[in-house]
């Protein structure tokens, strides 16, 4: 069975601090995909990144970076120099298989509050 | 650019009443999904439709039915609402499948069952 664990439930930081959101996953598949989604206070979920199981290269997009380590089954998300607009709930997700019938399993989410 | 549109955005029901949540996407996506979001539980999949004409159960399908009316529309029906179905419901779509493409979400429908 697929499982995504986001052990941190709430994180509060002061603006300009760096913050890392942890994600640990479980799967028996050799091919799978990992995702991060952001849910700002407005409520709509926004896609941030997708990473397949064969690509362990870290990715950086502006202030956002992702560290994928298969050895520890982790896909962590770091926000550098956080801003108030980063305040949101962040979800990590795992696809159960590839193909037309694939679907995502989400973690419980991490609520990030960035204080001015 | 409408994307994924859900109606209604808010609804209050009494126990035992029925209702249908409507979802439509204008991106010509093949796959559509219904999730529910509850505090401390994250997003849980109710039903999904990998393509027009097919539907499958997700993690929490009990008490719900779905219809993939056509490629654009995917509705979720509560036949006899229960307080445990108080939640925020999200419809989502993806161009191919959940694994190969990002999900596009609607704004959510907040349902309260008294």
pLDDT in tens, A29-43: 888 899 999 999 999
pLDDT band at A95 (very low <50, low <70, confident <90, very high): confident
Confidence at residue A99, expressed as pLDDT on a 0 to 100 scale: 67
- Higher-pLDDT residue of A31 and A110 is A110
Contacts of A93 in chain B (CB under 8 A): 43
Q: Could you give the 3-state DSSP secondary structure of residue B18?
A: coil
Q: Are the Cβ atoms of B44 and A106 closer than 8 angstroms?
A: yes
Nearest beta carbon to residue A100 from set B45, B97, B103: B97
The residues near B41 (Cβ < 8 Å, ≥ 6 apart) are A108
- Higher-pLDDT residue of A50 and A21 is A21
Nearest beta carbon to residue B97 from set A42, A93, A102: A102
Q: Are the Cβ atoms of B58 and A44 closer than 8 angstroms?
A: no
pLDDT band at A102 (very low <50, low <70, confident <90, very high): confident
Residue A109 at interface with chain B, using a CB cutoff of 8 Å: yes
Q: Are the Cβ atoms of A101 and B56 closer than 8 angstroms?
A: yes
Q: Are the Cβ atoms of A103 and B108 closer than 8 angstroms?
A: no
Confidence at residue A40, expressed as pLDDT on a 0 to 100 scale: 95
Nearest chain A CA: its distance from B13 CA (Å): 22
Q: Are the Cβ atoms of B98 and A99 closer than 8 angstroms?
A: no
Residue B42 at interface with chain A, using a CB cutoff of 8 Å: yes
Assess whether pLDDT exceeds 80 at residue B101. no
Contacts of A104 in chain B (CB under 8 A): 45, 98-99, 103
User: Nearest-CA neighbor of B50 among B108, B99, B89, B6?
Assistant: B99
Q: CA separation (Å) from B81 to A67, B12, B32, B43, B85?
A: 43, 10, 23, 20, 7
Q: Are the Cβ atoms of B90 and A45 closer than 8 angstroms?
A: yes
Give CA angle at B110 (B107, B114), nearest 5°. 175
CB of A12 closer than 8 Å to CB of A111:
no
Residue B55 at interface with chain A, using a CB cutoff of 8 Å: no
Q: Are the Cβ atoms of B45 and A105 closer than 8 angstroms?
A: yes
Residue A8 at interface with chain B, using a CB cutoff of 8 Å: no
Mean pLDDT confidence for B15-43: 94
Confidence at residue B100, expressed as pLDDT on a 0 to 100 scale: 66
Assess whether pLDDT exceeds 70 at residue B98. no
Assess whether pLDDT exceeds 70 at residue A49. yes
Confidence at residue A100, expressed as pLDDT on a 0 to 100 scale: 64
CB of B75 closer than 8 Å to CB of B66:
yes
């Amino acid at each position: 069975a697929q499982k995504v664990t986001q052990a941190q439930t709430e994180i509060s930081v002061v603006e300009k601090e760096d913050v890392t959101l942890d994600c640990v996953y479980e799967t028996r598949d050799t091919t799978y995909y990992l995702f991060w989604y952001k849910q700002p206070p407005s409520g709509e979920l926004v896609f941030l990144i997708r990473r397949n199981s064969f690509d362990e290269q870290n990715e950086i997009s502006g202030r956002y970076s992702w560290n994928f380590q298969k050895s520890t089954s982790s896909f962590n998300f770091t926000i550098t120099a956080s801003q108030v607009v980063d305040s949101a709930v962040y979800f990590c997700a795992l696809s159960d298989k590839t193909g037309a019938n694939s679907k995502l399993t989400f973690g419980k989410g991490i609520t990030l509050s960035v204080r001015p | 650019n409408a994307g994924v549109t859900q109606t209604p955005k808010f609804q209050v029901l009494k126990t035992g009443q029925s209702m249908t949540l409507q979802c439509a996407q204008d991106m010509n996506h093949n796959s559509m999904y219904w999730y529910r979001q509850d505090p401390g539980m994250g997003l849980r999949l109710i039903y999904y439709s990998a393509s027009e004409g097919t539907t499958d159960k997700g993690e929490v399908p009990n008490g719900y039915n779905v219809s993939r009316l056509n490629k654009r529309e995917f509705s979720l029906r509560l036949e006899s609402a229960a307080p445990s179905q108080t939640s925020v419901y999200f419809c989502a779509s993806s161009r191919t499948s959940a694994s190969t493409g990002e999900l596009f979400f609607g704004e959510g429908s907040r349902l309260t069952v008294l």
